[in-house]
Amino acid sequence: MTGIDDLPIRDELRGKSPYGAPQLDVAVRLNTNENPYPLPEALVERIAERVREAARDLNRYPDRDAVELRTELARYLTRTAGHPVTVANIWAANGSNEVLQQLLQTFGGPGRTALGFEPSYSMHALIARGTGTGWLSGPRNDDFTIDVERARRTIAEHRPDVVFITSPNNPTGTAVEADTVLALYEAAQAAKPSLVVVDEAYGEFSHRASLLPLIAGRPNLVLSRTMSKAFGAAGLRLGYLAADPAVVDAVQLVRLPYHLSSVTQATALAALEHTDTLLGYVEQLKAERDRLVAELRALGYEVTDSDANFVQFGRFEDSHAVWQQILDRGVLVRDNGVPGWLRVTAGTPDENDAFLEAVRALKKEQS
């Protein structure tokens, strides 16, 4: 049998595994930070209508610049994220993963490096590898916050071309203060200058305001967002960035022509018409997230403060064994490979009850 490594693949891909959480058939799945609420029926109908219209033109390529969609995304951010932006500030792609890939294709690449503060979203390092960008792993404090002084030193020493700041951070849930972003931006400009990417995939779930206003007057600062979480549309694959218009022009150099299908654009536009309903679900999830934090702490677990739709809890001598024990009770959580910790996504109240029941039973067995 021919294996991958028998093929003439790039050396840096040899022996590597593809990214992905186990997709197991379990009753309660709280492992991939999805929104547990299906789209409301009125929105499903609106999607069908808009997609039907789009289908009549499927013989034609889509709007290559997705102008209507970017305009609506700009209106959404202007209304909810505390800073006015226009279509010229926004770029959209198939999930924020594709946005991040386009950014690294444009600002990273062979001979260049990207820095992230780990543990964080592991796709940052994998997209770096896929685009031939070197990867630097920066440190975090024991409480998973970023130590500004150490981060500054790391940036000054390694002079990365791209710096990732994930806020709220995945898998820890930790928000990054605006002052920290500004300090790292200044350090990154002094060292190179380089592109600073704030990955705000979970921004809508935060207790704090969006970091969007920071892009004003900072052409090398990019905010990345997604409709996968707050809009409950992980299956849609729609991510976007907000930045200086020059950044939007720059990513055009690497985007594939017509990368965003007419069906995707129509569906995303329908979802944006229902923003208020969907943000109502976000409020419920934030309350459930806070309940998970409080109840896990009451059970005696250590819990990292969370600004996201998930909660990191521990500490365990063998987190993988505990992951399995929770799975044996019908609940799938995530073992991100952070030693001592597991991550649970906030689900519906019933799903969260099932999870809490499972960990309560574990505690009882141990005592």
Q: Please give the residue ranges that form the binding site for ligand PMP (CB under 6 A).
A: 33, 95-97, 121, 166, 170, 199, 201, 226, 228, 234, 239
First to last CA, the chain: 50
How many beta carbons lie within 10 A of that of residue 55, not counting itself?
A: 12
Q: What burial class does residue 300 get, using C-beta atoms within 10 Å of its C-beta: 0-12 exposed, 13-18 middle, 19+ buried?
A: exposed
Q: How far apart are CA 243 and CA 91, in angstroms?
A: 9
**Do the beta carbons of residue 34 and residue 236 sit within 8 Å?**
no
Minimum CB–partner distance for residue 267 and ligand PMP (Å): 14
Minimum CB–partner distance for residue 9 and ligand PMP (Å): 24
- Looking at the Cβ atoms of 170 and 206, the one nearer to ligand PMP is 170
Q: How far apart are CA 147 and CA 157, in angstroms?
A: 15
In order, the DSSP letters of 59-79 are TSPP-TT-HHHHHHHHHHHHH
- Looking at the Cβ atoms of 26 and 234, the one nearer to ligand PMP is 234
- Looking at the Cβ atoms of 197 and 322, the one nearer to ligand PMP is 197
Minimum CB–partner distance for residue 32 and ligand PMP (Å): 7
- Looking at the Cβ atoms of 77 and 358, the one nearer to ligand PMP is 77
- Looking at the Cβ atoms of 198 and 247, the one nearer to ligand PMP is 198
Tell me which residue has its CB nearest to ligand PMP: 95
- Looking at the Cβ atoms of 191 and 223, the one nearer to ligand PMP is 223
- What lies within 8 Å, CB to CB, of 327 at 6+ separation is 24, 26, 333
Minimum CB–partner distance for residue 364 and ligand PMP (Å): 33
Alpha helices in 89-226 (DSSP H): 95-107, 123-130, 148-158, 178-191
- DSSP assignment letter at 118: S
Tally the C-alpha atoms within 13 A of residue 244's C-alpha that lie toward its C-beta.
Answer: 14
**Do the beta carbons of residue 128 and residue 163 sit within 8 Å?**
no
Minimum CB–partner distance for residue 240 and ligand PMP (Å): 9
Minimum CB–partner distance for residue 360 and ligand PMP (Å): 28
- Looking at the Cβ atoms of 89 and 101, the one nearer to ligand PMP is 101
Minimum CB–partner distance for residue 117 and ligand PMP (Å): 12
**Do the beta carbons of residue 204 and residue 279 sit within 8 Å?**
yes
- Looking at the Cβ atoms of 255 and 358, the one nearer to ligand PMP is 255
- Looking at the Cβ atoms of 116 and 191, the one nearer to ligand PMP is 116
In order, the DSSP letters of 169-199 are -TTT-----HHHHHHHHHHHHHHS--EEEEE
Buried b (16+ CB within 10 A) or exposed e, 110-146: eebbbbbbbbbbebbbbbbbbbebbbbebebeeebbb
Q: How far apart are CA 238 and CA 76, in angstroms?
A: 14
Minimum CB–partner distance for residue 175 and ligand PMP (Å): 12
Minimum CB–partner distance for residue 64 and ligand PMP (Å): 21
